[in-house]
Amino acid sequence: MGFVRKYIRCPHCGFTNYATSIYCVRCNLKIKLDYSSIKKSFAFLITAFVFYIPANIYPILQSNKFFESYTNTIISGIFELWSDGDYPIAIIVFLASVLIPILKFIILFYLNISIKSCKYLKIKRRLYKFIEISGPWSLLDVFVVFILSALIHFQYVSVIPKSAALYFLLMVIFTILSAMSFDERLIGVNCE
Ligand SMILES: [Zn+2]
């Protein structure tokens, strides 16, 4: 601590400016660091996590077959797929709707709480890259769950999304907002 970063890359054009610059010398756009972004990112992350709880508790799908109808939560759906022998699909749904979202929560939580720490800067920048790259694909999680469930239950007359689908969608959106509002230039900003 106590060291001040001398240079900073312009997020718009990549030009190397003095860290104290507010506007880029080359493109004239604003490059000032936004410290409030961490608070925003953290608030969005907590919101995403809160939505993830009902997304798992409430049923995500209702399957109707003539006079029979039953509902599945994300977890019970995965167990059902597995016990039916649909292993690859059970694994894909598990990855898209359980493992990857939880991994993102952990990474974003870690990046947020360790923003002032000068340890593991390279790892932290790589973790953020992973979040940044996977961000737009997150919405696919929702579609993967739906499409696969629909395909699996083709023998049923209809498959209706239930409340947990909405919570899951909100969780995905708030995770993206959290990643977007995180200013990665703050990683190691006072360390060099
Ligand atoms: Zn620039």
Task: Name which of 52, 177, 45, 38 is nearest 106 in CA terms.
Answer: 45
Residue 48 near residue 178, CB atoms below 8 Å = yes
Q: Distance, CA 170 to ligand 1 centroid (Å)? A: 34
Q: Distance, CA 108 to ligand 1 centroid (Å)? A: 27
Q: Distance, CA 16 to ligand 1 centroid (Å)? A: 8
pLDDT confidence band for 43 (50 / 70 / 90) = very high
Rounded to two decimals, the pTM is: 0.78
Q: Which of 68-72, 99-103, 159-163, 178-182 has the lowest mean pLDDT?
A: 159-163
| Maximum CA extent, the chain | 71
Q: Distance, CA 113 to ligand 1 centroid (Å)? A: 29
Q: What is the mean pLDDT of residues 43-47?
A: 97
User: Between the CA atoms of 122, 128, 132 and 135, what dihedral angle is there, to the nearest 10 degrees?
Assistant: 140
How many residues are given for the chain?
A: 192
- The yes-or-no verdict on residue 1 having pLDDT over 50 is no
Q: Where are the beta strands (DSSP E) in 56-173?
A: 61-65, 68-72, 158-161
Q: Distance, CA 32 to ligand 1 centroid (Å)? A: 11
CA distances from 162 to 52, 84, 91, 173 (A): 14, 22, 22, 18
In this predicted structure, what is the pLDDT of residue 65?
73
Contacts of 105 (CB under 8 A, 6+ apart): 45, 48, 49, 52, 175
Residue 90 in 3-state DSSP? helix
Residue 72 in 3-state DSSP? strand
Q: Distance, CA 132 to ligand 1 centroid (Å)? A: 21
Task: Name which of 55, 44, 56, 168 is nearest 109 in CA terms.
Answer: 44
Q: Which of 43-52, 119-128, 137-146 has the lowest mean pLDDT?
A: 137-146
